[in-house]
Amino acid sequence: MKVQTKITLLLLAVVAIFMAGLWAFRAFDQQKFRQIRTNRLVEAKRAFEAFLAKDGEPLETLADYDTTWDAMVQAIRSRNLRWLDENVSHESLQAYKAHAAWIYSPDRTLLYSRNAIPVDPELDKAEAEKRSTIKPPDLPLPPEAFDELFAKQATAHFFIKVGDEWMEIRGATVHGSKDYARQTPQQGFFFVGRFWNKPTLEEMALFSNTNLSLVFGREPPREIVEDGLTAFTKILPGWDGQTVAYLLIRNEMPVVRLLNRSNERLIISLFVFALVLLLLIYWSVVRWVSHPLRRIMETLKRNDPKPIERLCWDHSEFGEMARTSKKFFEQRDNLVREMEERRVTEEALRKSEEELRHSQKMEAVGRLAGGVAHDFNNLLTAIIGYAELIATRTSSNSLAKQNAELIRKAGEQAAALTRQLLAFSRKQILQPKVIDLNALVLEMERLLRRVIGERFDLQSHPDAENGRVKADPSQLEQVVLNLGVNARDAMPRGGKLIIRTENVRLDRKTAPQIAASLAPGDYVMLSVTDTGAGMDEETKSHIFEPFFTTKGPGKGTGLGLATVYGIVRQTGGGISVESEPGKGSIFRIYLPQESGPVDLSRTPLTPIEKSDNFETVLVVEDEDIVRELVCEVLEDQGYNVLCARDGIEALNMAEDFDGPIHLLVTDVIMPHMNGHELAGKLSQLRPDMKILYVSGYSDHEIGDHGLLDPHYELLQKPFTPQTLARKIREVIREGQYAATAK
């Protein structure tokens, strides 16, 4: 459980205990107030009953006093209304708070009634006397009411509606003066009453310090004892004992209400105080404990010291923890950085060692291939050249011409094989220029469709914004073609082939993983993706080795991917492969990105024609068969040809020849004196002579023999008579003089 959760639960427990105490205090206080209110209700009822008894005492006295009077008995018997009018006067009734009086004879018939309603003092005397003589309404009592009222007692007390208002009625049977106990038969009935109207109730409320109101209905009003208010009822019975109305008595005690509200405000204040205190403590815990802990935990979980940057300036214990954690992360970062640098270095070293071993292997094979290619090139030059001469010197339909063409095609196939041998060993002669790789991919799409067939979905995506690279376009075309053919062979049942270009940036970590020689920077990536069978790790480790193939016997030379590897590395790029069995393969080629303009120039084809100037050409070639071919071709073109088998013989011929020598055609690598040394010496004798080098070796091997001038003219063996004649014509017209070849 988190510390913040524990502290929060502790605070909640404290608040819960505090609230329980408040609730207990409130319950005890409420119980005390309920007891006080109950006592108050009992006291209020007792006090009001006493008040009613006291307030109704005059009326009761009047009913009781005037009904044990011999004169009253005689007046009823004699029906002496005058006596009754004089003795039951308006003033006497008002003295006993009576508003009316009724006297009945023993036979229950009304004998006399008197009105005693107070008269407005502002009225004149005549009007006042007139109103005082108005008879009150008869009591609405049925005959049986008399028997029921006085069956068990001589007096009666009930409420009845007289006219439009309710009256309190006091009644008694009439007896002689000596029959105070009312044991003799009644001599009549005497009733007095007072109206319980608004003025009467207000007067009673004033004296009783209550609020009074009449409530009619079967159900009594609810008694209330709350918040300084006491409300209870008094039943008002009718003549038959049934309830006819309720008197609602409300007694308010503002002091009790104020005291109760004061207690409630105190409890609310304590609750608010506890809540504010809880929030303050919670905020303090969150601010000074939870937030720092959360930042430290977040830092540890994310392995990132950023969340505790501000906490490091704190002078509390958490600040010290944050500073210690930051130091730990700094030390960890330094350690990780050192480990990463060591890993990158070890990876680069491992890559370099692998490349070194591969280079040594390729170098050994390359020396063999280069030597074989040089000898092959000399032989192929003669084979292709003489086959073309035979074809040009025989009729078009002759068998000899057809055989010569077959010999020439076989020679060209052998020449292509030697070029592949030179390519994978990175010993071929390149002619790099700035090209647009996007355009090259689009141009190769049509050729690839013809090569791979219709069973494959070929998609080209030249997505690189800057696809400019510096490379030999013919060699890159060979790369795309070889990768396309390799993908085709990996998908015998058809599939999808995607060629894409992208701009990528390699950093100091990723560049050595591709090739140890790659430097960090911007590259154009050419990727070739297929949906073929894929390769396992063992196969991937050998795919760039020459003569390695997974095809059956007679189905491949094993030079396709080795050629791709050699061209890419000789161009200054790198290559990687991603493949798994059943998931296809992705070949990615990384070439340095160029910012210069695309070189759209093309080498013009010089038409082959016999020279009209009869230029003199000095041919130096140590291979007899090649020298004889070159001399024969040039003589056919009309040149004056001087043929020498080595440099020493060539120097002697140049010294002995009286005319100008316009062009030196020399092999680069010869015994006794190489071509560059020969050109240097002849430049002193013939400064106006131009130079064309011929070689079956690569440009690297030529450089090793001293031919380092990047502006030299070089014709690569094997070549055809047409190629030779065209190159001779081009150099004579535009080539450099011998004086510049020093």
Ordered by start, the domain boundaries in the chain are: 66-195, 306-428, 430-592, 616-741
Confidence of residue 740 (pLDDT cuts 50, 70, 90): low
What integer pLDDT is reported at residue 712 of this predicted model?
Answer: 67
Q: Give 366's contacts (C-beta < 8 A, 6+ positions apart).
A: 424, 425, 426, 427
Residue with the bigger pLDDT between 122 and 247: it is: 247
16 three-class SS: helix
pLDDT in tens, 177-198: 888 888 888 899 999 999 888 8
Give percent above pLDDT 90 in the chain: 15
Q: Among 14-18, 407-411, 493-497, where is mean pLDDT lowest?
A: 407-411
Stretch 600-611: mean pLDDT: 52
Q: Which of 700, 642, 633, 708 is nearest to 675 (CA)?
A: 708
What are the backbone dihedrals phi and psi of residue 667, each rounded to the nearest 5 degrees, phi first?
A: -70, 150
Q: Report yes or no: 156 and 170 within 8 Å, Cβ to Cβ.
A: yes
pLDDT in tens, 104-116: 999 999 999 988 8
What integer pLDDT is reported at residue 266 of this predicted model?
Answer: 76
pLDDT at 344 over 80: no
* Token reading at 219: 């159900």
pLDDT at 608 over 70: no
pTM of the model: 0.43
Confidence of residue 149 (pLDDT cuts 50, 70, 90): confident
CATH topology of domain 616-741: Rossmann fold (3.40.50)
What integer pLDDT is reported at residue 233 of this predicted model?
Answer: 84
With tokens 């998931």, the residue in question is 583
Give me the residues paired with residue 502 across strands: 525
Q: Which CATH number among 3.30.1950.10, 3.40.190.10, 3.30.450.20, 1.10.357.10 corresponds to the domain 66-195?
A: 3.30.450.20
Residue 365 C-alpha from the chain's centroid = 57
pLDDT in tens, 76-102: 999 998 998 888 888 888 888 898 999
pLDDT at 362 over 50: yes
Eight-class DSSP state of 739: G
What integer pLDDT is reported at residue 607 of this predicted model?
Answer: 45
Instruction: Report, in angstroms and rounded to the nearest whole number, the Rg of the chain calculated over CA atoms.
Output: 67
pLDDT at 606 over 50: no
How far apart (Å, rounded) are the C-alpha atoms in residues 194 and 208?
Answer: 18
**Range 430-592 has CATH code 3.40.309.10:** no
What integer pLDDT is reported at residue 90 of this predicted model?
Answer: 82
Question: Which top CATH class is 306-428?
Answer: mainly alpha
Stretch 145-160: mean pLDDT: 87
pLDDT in tens, 199-225: 888 888 888 788 888 888 767 777 665
How far apart (Å, rounded) are the C-alpha atoms in residues 504 and 498?
Answer: 18
What integer pLDDT is reported at residue 604 of this predicted model?
Answer: 47
How far is it between the farthest Cα atoms of the chain? 203
